[in-house]
A and B are shown apart, each in its own frame.
Chain A
Amino acid sequence: MPATPVYIVCSPRPQVGRTLIARLLGEFLLLKNGRVTAFDINLKEPSLLDFLPDITETADVIDTYGKMQLMDRVIVDDGLAKVIDLGFHAFDEFFRMSEQIGFLKEAERRNVAPIILFMADTDRVSARGYDTLREQIPPAHLVVVDNEHVVRGGLPPMMERGRVLRVPALPTFLKTYIGRLTFSFTDYLRQERDSSTELHQWIRRNYTMFRDLELSLVMQRL
């Protein structure tokens, strides 16, 4: 049985494109599997819930009850892929809790595969956050997302050592276009007949990247 994937898209910094990646991933998994559950842990930022209300639930890690509501579902091997959009304000608490409760160890035992997608940035907070993750998370589970729009080609060398997903920047007008709440990446692929458009290629490239990531997970566990 393939493991149930749990994607945790995170950064200790705001405005790094985290919700964009969670949206893309959510839509990709929905297209590929027909179902996915996403958890939105954001209080202060534009949220995943606004973009994908049909598959997204809000969650929090402020108190123990919230942690139970989230983690007791995330740890279940039910074959349903999960995406967590982890707001920057919850970064420290989530990973502190995750270490305390032995999340990774239990996930391994239950055939659940957590994949931490760390949104890179060039500042000190991000470097410290990445260091924290490297201490906790085995390299196979930790993936750096190099969002060109944020990092602008200056990905810190320490973040290049492991697996890196590179997301090319879009021109501003396309960024605004995909930023509309009603925009759907999959709908665009289906409706736009011209597959040579920049946005079409950008979405396909990212979907392919996620498919490769999933495949590599499967291969690792064989």
Chain B
Amino acid sequence: MAAKPAVIVVGADKGGVGKTTVSRTLLDYFNANNVPTRAFDTESPRGTLKRFHPDVTEIVDMTSTNDQMKIFDTLNSAAPSVTVIDVRAGLLSRALASLRDIGFLDAAKGGQITFAVFHILGPSIASLDEIAETASFMTGAKYFLVKNFINDTQFFQWDQSTYNSYFHRIKDATDLTIPKLNEMAFEQVEIASVPFLKFVANKGIRDDAANYSFVLRGYVRHWLANVWSEFDRIKLTDIVGAGKAARSSGEK
């Protein structure tokens, strides 16, 4: 269990860049590493994250004081030490401003709380332009620029000056790469409405035996392993203070 609470905010101001997908991989990753986790889905009133992880997810409205209290006033008392907040499109800057206003960012800076932001980037200039704005809130936080390959984009790597202006400008930011998942496999998991881990293990919502395509399960397994290797690379379990535990792959 972590020595101090850890909060991971997953967000972007631009929509359709895969925020919830990354949140889902994080919940699966912590689950596989035996790190107790709770999640908040800010896609009020109907949350996508909650659909996949109903047991650990609560839907909240980040702009309401009541719900802010529900998240942040329980950080020390809540049993799971890691809190993942999936911030809906357009709300990241506002959410960070709220965190600053309530003194949360100062607490992170003071080392009382571990705070990490997974800024999900899509393959557009509009998405990359968010980096500078978000970075201004990042003192005391671990800032991850997540290149989410929702298509076959190059993230402007073919134009080195454009690429450098976004990815090498923020000194303390760390790049993360989320590879593209096979489209049919992604859709099949959508239909199944289960965590990726359960899909790989061929299980239904209530852990009942399912009959997903072996090929699609294979693609998801391969993709999830690549995503997790990125989380391993940044030593995510160490960051949240959980250390390295024996991981279960989910597949029996």
Chain B 199-221 against A: per-residue CB contact (8 Å), 1 yes, 0 no? 00000000000000111111101
**Is there an interface contact between B183 and A100, defined as CB atoms closer than 8 Å?**
no
Q: Is A64's CB under 8 angstroms from B183's CB?
A: yes
A174 at the interface (CB under 8 A from B): no
Give A95 Cβ to nearest chain B Cβ, in Å.
13
A68-B182 Cα distance, complex, nearest whole Å: 12
Is B182 within 8 A of A64, CB to CB? Answer: yes
* Residue B191 at the chain A interface, CB threshold 8 Å: no
A100 touching B214, Cβ below 8 Å: no
Interface segment out of the listed A101-109, A202-210, A211-219:
A101-109
Q: In the docked arrangement, what's the CA distance between A65 and B185, Å?
A: 10
User: Across the interface, which residues of A come within 8 angstroms of B184, CB to CB?
Assistant: 64-65, 68
Cβ-based interface call for B94 (8 A): no
A100 x B213 contact (CB < 8 A)? no
Residues of A within 8 A of B213 (CB): 68, 72
B216's nearest neighbour on chain A, judged by CB, is A68
Closest to B200 in A: A102
Question: Taking the nearest CB of chain B, how far is it from the CB of A198, in angstroms?
Answer: 44
Pairwise interchain contact B219-A71, C-beta atoms closer than 8 A: no
Task: Check B214–A71 contact: CB distance below 8 A.
Answer: yes
A75 at the A/B interface (Cβ < 8 Å)?
yes
Given contacts A64-B215, A64-B216, A68-B213, contact A101 B183 (CB under 8 A): no
Cβ of A67 under 8 Å from chain B: yes
* Band of interface residues on B: 10 to 19
Query: Across the interface, do A102 and B221 meet the contact criterion of CB distance under 8 Å?
Result: yes
Q: Are A100 and B218 in contact (CB under 8 A)?
A: yes
Q: Min CB distance, B54 to chain A, in Å?
A: 28
A10–B53 alpha-carbon span in the complex (Å): 43
Query: B51 contacts which chain A residues (CB < 8 A)?
Result: none
Closest to A107 in B: B214
- B215 near A71: Cβ-Cβ < 8 Å: yes
Kindly supply a per-residue 1/0 record for chain A positions 88-115, scoring 1 wherever the CB is within 8 Å of any chain B CB and 0 otherwise. Answer: 0000000001001111001000000000
Q: Is B247 an interface residue (CB 8 A)?
A: no
Q: Closest CB of chain B to A99's CB: distance in Å?
A: 8
| Contact with B214, one of A64, A65, A72 (Cβ below 8 angstroms) | A72
B221 & A68 in contact (Cβ 8 Å cutoff): no
| Contact assessment for A103 and B218 in the assembled complex, using a CB-CB cutoff below 8 Å | yes
Chain B contacts for A106, CB-based, 8 A: 214, 218
In the complex, which residues 50-93 of chain A have their Cβ closer than 8 Å to any Cβ of chain B? Answer: 64-65, 67-68, 71-72, 75
A-contact bits for B180-193, CB 8 A (1 contact / 0 none) = 00111100000000
Query: Which of B182, B183, B215, B219 is the one whose CB lies under 8 Å from A72?
Result: B215
Contact status of A75 and B214, CB under 8 A, knowing A100-B219, A101-B222: yes
Which B residues lie within 8 Å of A102 (CB)?
218, 221-222
- B214: chain A residues within 8 A (beta carbon): 71-72, 75, 101, 106
Q: Which residues of B contact A100 (CB under 8 A)?
A: 218-219, 222
Identity of the chain B residue whose Cβ is nearest the Cβ of A100 in the assembled complex: B222
Cα of A48 to Cα of B82 in the assembled complex, Å: 57
Which B residues are CB-close (under 8 A) to A101?
214-215, 217-219, 221-222
Q: How far is the CA of A72 from the CA of B185 in the complex (A)?
A: 14
Q: A64-B184, A72-B213, A106-B214 are in contact. List 12 more A-B contacts (CB 8 A).
A: A64-B182, A64-B185, A64-B215, A67-B215, A68-B184, A71-B215, A72-B214, A100-B218, A101-B214, A101-B215, A101-B217, A103-B218
A-B contact pairs, 16 of them (CB 8 A): A64-B215, A64-B216, A65-B184, A68-B216, A71-B214, A72-B213, A72-B214, A72-B215, A75-B214, A97-B215, A100-B219, A101-B218, A101-B222, A102-B218, A106-B214, A106-B218
Q: Which 7 residue pairs spanning A and B have beta carbons closest together?
A: A101-B218, A64-B184, A100-B222, A68-B215, A71-B215, A68-B213, A75-B214
